């Protein structure tokens, strides 16, 4: 029985594949009874099945369901195929991720980049308040869509490698009990590479600072040609001078990015909420200037030719 036949029994009709990662595939679908468009995440059909992969998928749904923030993609349900395999039902996002936006337009204006990352910091603060560490923050996991009022809205997506902190009952989240994949190399904090301590809120703050640097400059702060060189730069390399790379960026903003990227976790912001507050004055300029823009995606892919986020007929998310 193929996915279409299986999902008809579960009240969903698949429309198209909208994303594929290392372990999962995301499809746009429509609820047959409600007429609601949703995003369904399955385990990849070309990967071998094992209990840990199934547990990770269920745990991702449980984690996302705990976080209530306009800046985190909403989890709607965990369904089951007739063979018992789980799938996630999420809100459908129309728009593009910030990596695609960067590819289409190049480095963003500072006020625009800050406005987006500030929203991500707000979502991250909500996750941390529930004891959830994302562990894989990067531009491609920050999705830009439209709020109901037509304003740009950033949501954190893909909690596939997220972990509960020590304050959360891991067993309640079907936590497999061992460390998951570390994340994307250019956005992995130094302490994670050293394996000297578990990833925590400060690790996510480092990654978000690296994401902001990337949106401003067009490349991640420590990315090198070879993976070993990237790791060495993260561990011991100097933080690039953002003001030298972008002379139009004010020194106070550059100092915020540098603080996020400090090698020692205790030198970073104390919390995502503190980072959000520090970015607020710079993000406010984007609102006043009307500078926030995004790429609106055509069905199934990002439209590379568009550079402005146009109001959509349906304000929904992937």
**Burial degree of 310 (CB within 10 A; 0-12, 13-18, 19+):** exposed
* Structural domains of the chain sorted by starting position, each given as residue range(s) with its CATH number in brackets: 3-91 (3.30.200.20), 96-302 (1.10.510.10)
pLDDT digits (tens, 9 = 90+) for 287-311: 554 434 444 433 333 333 223 333 3
pLDDT digits (tens, 9 = 90+) for 32-85: 888 999 999 999 887 777 888 899 999 999 999 999 999 999 999 999 888 888
Contact 315, 148 (CB under 8 A): yes
Active site annotation includes 136: yes
Is a pLDDT exceeding 80 seen at residue 138? yes
pLDDT of residue 11: 84
Q: Which of 136, 158, 200, 204 is catalytic?
A: 136
Average pLDDT for residues 10-33, to the nearest whole number? 87
Average pLDDT for residues 189-199, to the nearest whole number? 85
Is a pLDDT exceeding 90 seen at residue 215? yes
pLDDT of residue 131: 94
Average pLDDT for residues 7-13, to the nearest whole number? 73
Average pLDDT for residues 178-192, to the nearest whole number? 75
* Out of 169-173, 223-227, 255-259, 277-281, least confident range: 169-173
pLDDT of residue 275: 98
For residue 268, which of 163, 165, 191 has the smallest C-alpha distance?
Answer: 191
pLDDT over 70 percentage in the chain? 80
What confidence category does residue 256 fall into, taking pLDDT thresholds of 50, 70 and 90?
very high
């Amino acid at each position: 029985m193929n996915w279409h036949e299986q999902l008809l029994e579960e009240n969903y009709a698949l429309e198209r594949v909208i994303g594929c990662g290392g372990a999962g595939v995301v499809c746009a679908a429509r609820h047959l009874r409600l007429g609601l468009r949703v995003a369904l995440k399955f385990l990849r059909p070309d990967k071998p099945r094992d209990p840990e992969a199934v547990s990770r998928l269920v745990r991702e749904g449980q984690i996302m369901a705990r976080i209530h923030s306009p800046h985190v993609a909403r989890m709607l349900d965990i369904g089951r195929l007739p063979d018992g395999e789980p799938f996630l039902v999420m809100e459908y996002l129309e728009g593009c991720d910030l990596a695609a936006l960067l590819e289409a337009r190049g480095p963003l204006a500072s006020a625009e980049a800050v406005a987006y990352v500030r929203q991500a910091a707000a979502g991250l603060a909500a996750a941390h308040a529930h004891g959830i560490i994302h562990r894989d923050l990067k531009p491609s996991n920050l999705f830009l869509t439209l709020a109901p009022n037509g304003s740009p809205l950033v949501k954190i997506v893909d909690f596939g490698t997220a972990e509960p902190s020590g304050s959360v009952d891991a067993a309640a989240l079907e936590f497999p009990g061992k460390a998951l994949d570390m994340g994307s190399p250019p956005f992995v904090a130094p302490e994670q590479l050293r394996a000297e301590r578990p990833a925590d809120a400060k690790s996510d703050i480092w990654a978000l600072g690296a994401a902001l640097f990337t949106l401003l400059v067009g490349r991640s702060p420590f990315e090198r040609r070879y993976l070993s060189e990237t790791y060495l730069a993260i561990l011991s390399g100097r933080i690039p001078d953002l003001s030298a790379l972008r002379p139009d960026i004010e020194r106070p903003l550059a100092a915020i990015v540098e603080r996020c990227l400090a090698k020692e976790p205790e030198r970073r912001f104390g919390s995502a909420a503190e980072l959000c507050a520090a970015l607020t004055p710079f993000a406010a300029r984007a609102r006043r200037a009307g500078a926030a823009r995004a790429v609106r995606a055509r069905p199934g892919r990002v439209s590379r030719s568009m550079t402005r986020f146009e109001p959509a007929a349906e304000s929904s998310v992937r």
